[in-house]
Amino acid sequence: MGRRKRLTARQLAVLDDLFGSELEESSVLEKHGVRRSTYDRWLGEKVFGERFKQHLNGLKRRSELLMAKYSCLAAAKLVELTASGKEETARKACLDIMTMPNKISDEVGQVNRTEGGEGEELSELSIETASKLLAVMAEEI
């Protein structure tokens, strides 16, 4: 008995609701009358599993794009917070700004490793340099 090479309408509907609606997994299965055992079997099937992974990768790409779009805005907001009247808020913003280059270089390094690239690494800021940058930014505000 050969395996089917296409997804059924029911499987497609389940995938659409899993990835395109606000419903939880159990609610989607209940809505479509799919038993957990059937769903688990589907996940083990090559075609369904591949389509499931495609949906997951699409969500991951969209979330990475969203994060990239708003990272500049987030950085600008942090710079604004360094001038906050609340000392603790300003202190935390300064610390976040100083650690930002490290986080960015770690993320770039991960991307380069997964893509097999040998891209140039971002250099880390020393605490002295970061302090001077923050002082200059504070003067501008």
| 24/54 Cα distance (integer angstroms) | 19
Q: Which residues contact 130 (CB under 8 A, 6 or more apart)?
A: 97, 98, 101
Q: pLDDT band for 104, please (50, 70, 90 cuts).
A: low
Its pTM surpasses 0.75: no
Element (H, E) at 22: none
pLDDT at position 1 is 46
What are the tokens at 27?
């609610």
- List the one residue out of 35, 32, 27 whose CA is nearest residue 12: 32
Q: Determine contact, residues 99/105, Cβ cutoff 8 Å.
A: no
pLDDT at position 92 is 84
Q: What single-letter DSSP state applies at residue 117?
A: -
Place of tokens 């996940």: 43
Cα distances (angstroms) measured from residue 21 to each of 8, 14, 32, 58, 139: 19, 10, 13, 15, 48
Would the pLDDT of 66 be above 90?
no
Give the tens place of pLDDT for each residue, 126-141: 677 777 677 666 665 5
| 95/28 Cα distance (integer angstroms) | 43
More confident residue, 79 or 137: 79
